[in-house]
C-alpha cells in the first residue's frame, strides 16, 4: 500500500471537504504519520474515514474530526495547550506541531495511553509535549496557565470549572451534548466575567470517562 498516496487522499478527499483549510493544520496532517499512532492491527486502515479502537473502551477519532477540532481551536505559534484525553497521542502530535514554539500538556485517565503516547511522540522527535496520567473530565487545576484547552471526548454537560478557571483570552474547544445532538463548541473568555460561545458543527463522539452527567427527570 502506498501510504503517502493514501495520506494525500485522506487530506484531499476527507479533510478539505470538511472545511479544514488552515495550511498549518494540513501540513501537520501530511507530516505526522497517523499510522504510527494506531494499533498495529489497524495500521493499514489508519488513514481511512473511521474511528479506530484503542482498547479500554476508547477509540481514535476519525481523521476529519481530529483535523477539524485542531483547526477550530485557532492555535497560534507559541501558545500553551492543555489536551484532555491523550488517547493514541496522534492529536497530541498535531497540536504540538501547530503550537510551534509553544507546548502541549496532555492528560489521560488511562496510564497505558500515557506510556504509549510518550514512546510514539519520542520516535517522532516531538519534544514540546508533557504527558500526565489523571482524571480531568470535570476540570483541571491551573487552567489560567493555558491559552487553549482541547477536550477530545464529549461532555454531556460542560462543567463550570472549565469556563470559570479559563485564562482571559483563552479558548476552550469541546464537544458538548448527548447523541444524537452534540455540538463542537468553542468558548472564548473575553474578560473576567464575559465569555463568547461559537457552536462550530454538529457531531457525535464518545464521552470522556467520569464525565458529569445530565440530570434527567423521571415522571
Convert the pLDDT of each residue in 40-70 to its tens digit. Answer: 999 999 999 999 999 999 999 999 999 999 9
> Residue 94 pLDDT more than 70?
yes
The Cα-based distances of 70 to 29, 131, 152, 153, 174 in angstroms read 11, 18, 10, 13, 11
Average pLDDT over residues 171-195: 94
- Answer yes or no: is 40 within a domain: yes
At residue 215, the pLDDT reads 62
Least confident of 64-73, 76-85, 132-141, 205-214: 205-214
CA dist 138 and 74 (Å) reads 23
DSSP 207: B
The size of the chain, in residues, is 219
> Residue 211 pLDDT more than 80?
no
Buried b (16+ CB within 10 A) or exposed e, 92-111: bbbbbbbbeebbbbbbbbbe
CATH number assigned to the domain comprising residue 11: 3.40.50.150
Q: Which three cell numbers stand for residue 118?
A: 510518550
Answer for the pair 37, 120: CB distance below 8 angstroms, yes or no: yes
pLDDT tens digits, 116-154? 999 999 999 999 999 999 998 888 888 989 999 999 999
- Neighbour-count burial of 138, counting CB atoms closer than 10 A to its CB (0-12 exposed, 13-18 middle, 19+ buried): middle
CA dist 57 and 6 (Å) reads 27
CA dist 203 and 194 (Å) reads 26
Residue 63: which domain range?
3-203
Average pLDDT over residues 97-103: 97
Average pLDDT over residues 195-211: 91
- Answer yes or no: is 217 within a domain: no
Mean pLDDT, the chain, whole residue set: 93
At residue 207, the pLDDT reads 87
- Answer yes or no: is 60 within a domain: yes
**Opening angle at CA 44, ends 130 and 46, nearest 5:** 40
> 103-108 and 129-133 as β-strands: parallel, antiparallel, unpaired?
parallel
Rounded percentage of the chain residues whose pLDDT exceeds 70: 96
Give φ, ψ of 3 to 5 degrees.
Answer: -65, -35
- Answer yes or no: is 127 within a domain: yes
At residue 136, the pLDDT reads 87
Local confidence band at 2 (pLDDT 50, 70, 90 cut-offs): very high
Answer for the pair 114, 108: CB distance below 8 angstroms, yes or no: yes
- Answer yes or no: is 48 within a domain: yes
> Residue 214 pLDDT more than 90?
no
> Residue 182 pLDDT more than 90?
yes
CA dist 194 and 72 (Å) reads 20
Average pLDDT over residues 194-200: 96
- Answer yes or no: is 91 within a domain: yes
Whether omega for the bond prior to residue 207 falls within 30 degrees of 0, making it cis, is no
- Answer yes or no: is 211 within a domain: no
At residue 216, the pLDDT reads 52
> Residue 10 pLDDT more than 90?
yes
> Into how many domains does the chain fold?
1
- Answer yes or no: is 19 within a domain: yes
Tell me which residue of 87, 103, 100 sits closest to 152, measured CA to CA: 87
CA dist 78 and 146 (Å) reads 11
Whole-prediction pTM: 0.93
Amino acid at each position: 500500500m502506498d501510504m503517502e498516496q493514501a495520506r494525500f487522499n485522506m487530506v484531499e478527499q476527507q479533510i478539505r471537504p470538511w472545511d479544514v483549510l488552515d495550511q498549518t493544520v494540513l501540513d501537520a496532517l501530511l507530516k505526522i504519520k497517523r499510522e504510527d499512532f494506531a494499533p498495529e492491527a489497524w495500521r493499514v486502515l489508519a488513514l481511512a474515514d473511521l474511528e479506530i479502537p484503542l482498547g479500554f473502551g476508547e477509540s481514535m477519532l476519525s481523521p476529519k474530526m481530529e483535523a477539524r477540532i485542531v483547526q477550530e481551536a485557532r492555535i497560534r505559534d507559541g501558545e500553551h495547550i492543555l489536551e484532555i484525553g491523550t488517547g493514541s497521542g496522534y492529536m497530541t502530535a498535531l497540536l504540538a506541531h501547530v503550537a510551534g514554539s509553544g507546548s502541549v500538556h496532555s492528560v489521560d485517565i488511562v496510564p497505558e495511553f500515557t506510556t504509549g503516547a510518550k514512546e510514539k511522540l519520542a520516535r517522532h522527535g516531538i519534544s514540546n509535549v508533557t504527558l500526565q496520567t489523571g482524571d480531568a473530565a470535570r476540570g483541571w487545576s491551573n487552567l489560567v496557565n493555558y491559552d487553549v484547552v482541547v477536550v477530545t471526548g464529549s461532555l454531556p454537560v460542560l462543567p463550570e470549572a472549565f469556563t470559570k478557571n479559563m485564562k482571559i483570552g483563552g479558548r476552550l474547544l469541546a464537544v458538548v451534548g448527548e447523541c444524537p445532538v452534540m455540538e463542537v463548541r468553542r468558548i472564548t473568555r473575553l474578560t473576567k466575567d464575559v465569555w463568547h460561545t461559537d457552536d462550530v458543527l454538529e457531531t457525535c463522539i464518545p464521552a470522556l470517562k467520569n464525565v458529569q452527567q445530565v440530570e434527567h427527570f423521571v415522571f
